Amino acid sequence: MTISEKVAYLKGLAEGLNLDTEKSKEGKLISVMIGILEELAMSVEDLEENALNLGEEIDVLSDDLADVEEVVFDEDEDIEDYDDDWFEVECPSCGADILVDDEALADGEVECPSCGTRYAMELSDDEDEEPGEDPEE
Ligand SMILES: [Zn+2]
């Protein structure tokens, strides 16, 4: 039984008592209370319906976002994993992100997509710092 149905049942019981809702103070009180309950029941049911609709919309958005992530990242793995196929470094000139992938490593150099500066890729084990990590100018 929904809240509205319970309120309707309560209203029927009250009507069965044949209360005088004009002259009897108790009758008027009960009549007003039932009116308020009817409004509350409608509000609650509207809210429940809205919450359900929002939940469904969030599910749809979540599915869409997963599709977008699949296209953007092209894989489900952690993109910050430096052991993976590619990683990003910050351009020392303009601060833009430069993608370093297998192709760049094979070419031995990368080009900043923002300012066009080219950098040689030197893979040495004794220097772990990324270019552009130093906060000082
Ligand atoms: Zn740059």
pLDDT of residue 58: 96
Reduce the DSSP state of residue 16 to 3 states and report it: helix
- How far, in Å, from the CA of 97 to the mean position of ligand 1? 8
pTM value is 0.45
pLDDT of residue 69: 87
- How far, in Å, from the CA of 111 to the mean position of ligand 1? 8
- How far, in Å, from the CA of 8 to the mean position of ligand 1? 70
- How far, in Å, from the CA of 116 to the mean position of ligand 1? 6
- How far, in Å, from the CA of 109 to the mean position of ligand 1? 14
Helix, strand, coil share of the chain (percent; to 5):
50, 10, 40
pLDDT of residue 128: 52
pLDDT of residue 106: 80
Q: Digits of tens for pLDDT over the chain (137 positions)?
A: 889 999 999 999 998 988 888 888 989 999 999 999 999 999 999 999 999 999 999 999 999 999 898 888 875 555 555 555 777 888 889 999 888 888 787 888 888 989 998 888 766 555 455 555 555 55
- How far, in Å, from the CA of 87 to the mean position of ligand 1? 16
pLDDT of residue 105: 79
pLDDT of residue 88: 83
The domains of the chain are located at 3-73, 78-137
Residue 96, judged by CB atoms within 10 A of its CB (0-12, 13-18, 19+), counts as: middle
